[in-house]
């Protein structure tokens, strides 16, 4: 049982442990299993001690290779290794008890990596099995005399109301009390703040989830879902990067989240901003993802934003983060500062053919928007191709792409378009983020994956401010309207086609994804803000202390209910006879374990002659009911007569 439960406890650990460490744990556990299988004697203390030293040496080597940090994964691995070593010397019940207790600690370490809903079900099932084993270790006879699983079920049902009550109403904190160190930063989202040819194309091949979002109101078309991450200004001929100077921080708090009280004036054309919730996976980056033209995010984040519409958290996102946000879905006029004008027109040396083409547009079209349209016509009419496998570019990357290869991905089109616009005198910049998302109708939310990574452009026009222009839409309109899998050729899809397969498999995946999202939203990310909104919706926003006091009181009374019901189930006739025996015991006449009512009464009459008649009267009534022939007399009548006889006995004993 110990080997089996330890194997099940450690089974999910390879999700986070290095392969070498996982192999070591498997070897140690297999060693112990072989000893049990062959009924071989356990190793001596010298062998176990030597093995422990080898484990410590391996751990030291891993620490040295990792730069001297004792990370979370290594601590878990050491605990697991020494629990198995303890199992190698388990000979007595006390050893088995210690291994069982440590198994619970190992079970808790599964939550240090992440907390998916399946892990909660798995750990509860394994925890119940460990409790069952623990009971059998100490009480082997319980296997045939006790229904163990019903007993554990009743224990769980007894604790469930307390768990739900404390989870929902116990005061929540905005941040964890403590955080464990990590040996290496772990992030699932691969978006970088540097864009070069092929960088986003590599990210597209990943089906990992970047974030999920549920948007208030009607569902939006894919073409409206531009999730901004960073704005890139500087181009050195090979890569685009953000502004070198730190941006001016501006408060980004969203007050009165979700209640509509934080009023925002209508935007262009009388449009109103859209509010939505984002659940962001760990990125190890500080920037957040908002629908284009973000206005604000949850005030509890204490986030800030730049003048370019970028939003940043206070620290790198190292765990799933949920926040509420508000955005415009169309451009808002903005002034163009002198420094922004300089950056949005700056170009490195080189690419003469592209410069000449842009100069021709500048001479021909006085209106900057006409130059934008000329570039879009170039992409739409020339034989450009949208592909994840473009040929390599020459030293003059923009010239090589526009006039030679003409095959590329979104970063190729965004980069060359912005270069052309700047060369034509139109202020322009690159924006990177995600575009689109898969709508889950079962969960009513969008799933944005790494495969939705995208790059587009913005140009500044007088009276309109920064206007989004997506040159990819001129080459592959289906990319913007339907998603990346609709735009790429079949040989480029790979895992994405399997991920978005139609039919029952897609519905099953939607259901699992919806369950995951609900688990994150209502369990993992249930914080003080959600607790407050939940109480507000119930009309109990400022009564949390009273609710806690009342709830604890009611649950405490409910805990006494089994005792009360047990008392109600006791036979009242037998209860009165027990009281009768207790009265006589106080007089020094205790009833023997095998002594019948008549024999006991005869002995009591001899010892207490002054109460003999009362003793006999009570005994006759009890025996006639318990052992006599049933008659029409009711139990209530018998109980009344016994109570009267018991009172008479008390008076007789008092007179004596």
Residues designated catalytic:
410, 454, 470
Tokens of residue 581, six digits = 């025996």
Distances (CA, A) of 538 to 529, 533, 535: 14, 9, 5
Strands (E), 417-482: 428-435, 438-440, 445-449, 453-461, 465-469
Under 8 Å between Cβ of 323 and 288: yes
Under 8 Å between Cβ of 365 and 374: yes
Distance CA 430, CA 242 (A): 9
Under 8 Å between Cβ of 317 and 283: yes
Under 8 Å between Cβ of 104 and 130: yes
Neighbouring-strand partners of residue 429? 458
SS3 118: helix
- 606 exposure class (CB count in 10 Å sphere: 0-12, 13-18, 19+): exposed
Under 8 Å between Cβ of 328 and 358: no
**Sheet architecture: strand order including 294-298:** 253-254, 294-298, 321-327, 274-280, 209-215, 445-449, 438-440
The CA-based dihedral angle spanning residues 435, 439, 445, 448, taken in that order and rounded to the nearest 10 degrees: -30
Of the candidates 465, 473, 438, 433, the one whose C-alpha atom is nearest the C-alpha of residue 226 is: 433
Tokens of residue 503, six digits = 């039919």
Between CA 291 and CA 473, with CA 310 as vertex, the angle to 5 degrees is 50
- 248 exposure class (CB count in 10 Å sphere: 0-12, 13-18, 19+): exposed
Tokens of residue 629, six digits = 């022939």
């Amino acid at each position: 049982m110990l080997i089996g439960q330890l194997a099940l406890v450690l089974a999910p650990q390879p999700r986070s442990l290095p392969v070498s460490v996982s192999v070591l744990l498997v070897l140690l556990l297999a060693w112990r299993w072989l000893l049990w299988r062959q009924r071989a004697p356990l190793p001596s203390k010298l062998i176990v001690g030597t093995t422990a030293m080898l484990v410590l040496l391996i751990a030291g080597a891993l620490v040295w290779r990792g730069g001297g940090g004792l990370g979370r994964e290594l601590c878990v691995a050491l605990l697991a290794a020494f629990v198995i070593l303890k199992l190698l010397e388990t000979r007595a019940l006390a050893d088995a008890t210690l291994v069982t207790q440590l198994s619970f600690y190992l079970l808790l370490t599964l939550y240090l990596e992440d907390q998916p809903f399946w892990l909660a079900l798995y750990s509860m099932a394994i925890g119940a099995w460990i409790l069952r084993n623990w009971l059998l270790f100490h009480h082997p006879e319980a296997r045939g005399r006790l229904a163990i699983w019903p007993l554990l079920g009743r224990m769980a049902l007894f604790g469930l109301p307390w768990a739900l009550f404390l989870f929902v109403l116990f005061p929540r904190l905005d941040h964890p009390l403590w955080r464990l160190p990590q040996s290496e930063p772990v992030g699932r989202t691969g978006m970088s703040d540097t864009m070069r040819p092929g960088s986003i194309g590599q990210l597209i091949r990943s089906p990992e989830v970047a974030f999920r979002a549920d948007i208030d109101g009607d569902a939006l078309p894919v073409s409206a879902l531009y999730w901004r991450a960073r704005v890139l200004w500087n181009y050195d001929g090979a890569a685009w990067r953000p502004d070198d100077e730190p941006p001016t921080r501006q408060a980004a708090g969203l007050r009165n989240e979700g209640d509509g009280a934080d009023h925002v004036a209508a935007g262009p054309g009388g449009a109103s901003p859209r509010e939505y919730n984002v659940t962001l996976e760990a990125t190890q980056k500080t920037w957040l993802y908002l629908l284009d033209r973000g206005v604000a995010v949850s005030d509890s984040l204490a986030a800030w934003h730049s003048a370019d519409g970028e939003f940043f958290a206070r620290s790198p996102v190292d765990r799933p983060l949920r926040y509420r946000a508000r955005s415009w879905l169309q451009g808002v006029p903005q002034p163009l500062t002198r420094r922004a004008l300089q950056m949005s027109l700056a170009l490195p040396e080189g690419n003469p053919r592209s410069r000449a083409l842009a100069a021709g547009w500048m001479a021909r079209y006085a209106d900057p928007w006409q130059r934008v349209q000329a570039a879009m016509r170039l992409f739409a009419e020339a034989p450009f191709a949208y592909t994840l496998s473009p040929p390599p570019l020459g030293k003059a990357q923009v010239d090589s792409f526009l006039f030679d290869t003409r095959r590329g991905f979104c970063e190729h089109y965004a980069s060359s378009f912005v270069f052309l616009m700047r060369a034509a005198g139109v202020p322009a910049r690159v924006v990177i983020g995600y575009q689109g998302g898969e709508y889950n109708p079962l969960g009513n939310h969008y799933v944005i994956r790494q495969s939705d990574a995208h790059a587009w452009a913005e140009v500044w026009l007088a009276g309109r401010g920064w206007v989004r222009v997506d040159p990819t839409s001129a080459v592959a309109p289906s990319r913007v309207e339907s998603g990346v899998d609709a735009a790429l050729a079949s040989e480029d899809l790979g895992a994405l086609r399997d991920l978005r397969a139609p039919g029952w498999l897609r519905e099953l995946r939607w259901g699992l994804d919806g369950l995951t999202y609900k688990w994150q939203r209502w369990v993992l990310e249930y914080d003080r803000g959600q607790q407050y909104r939940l109480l507000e919706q119930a009309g109990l926003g400022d009564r949390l202390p009273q609710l806690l006091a009342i709830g604890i009181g009611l649950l405490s009374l409910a805990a006494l209910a089994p005792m009360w019901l047990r008392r109600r189930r006791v036979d009242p006739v037998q209860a009165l006879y027990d009281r009768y025996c207790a009265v006589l015991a106080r007089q020094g006449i205790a009833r023997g374990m095998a002594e019948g009512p008549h024999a006991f009464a005869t002995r009591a009459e001899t010892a207490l002659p002054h109460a003999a008649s009362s003793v006999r009267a009570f005994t006759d009534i009890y025996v006639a009911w318990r052992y006599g022939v049933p008659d029409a007399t009711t139990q209530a009548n018998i109980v009344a007569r016994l109570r009267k006889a018991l009172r008479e006995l008390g008076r007789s004993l008092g007179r004596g």
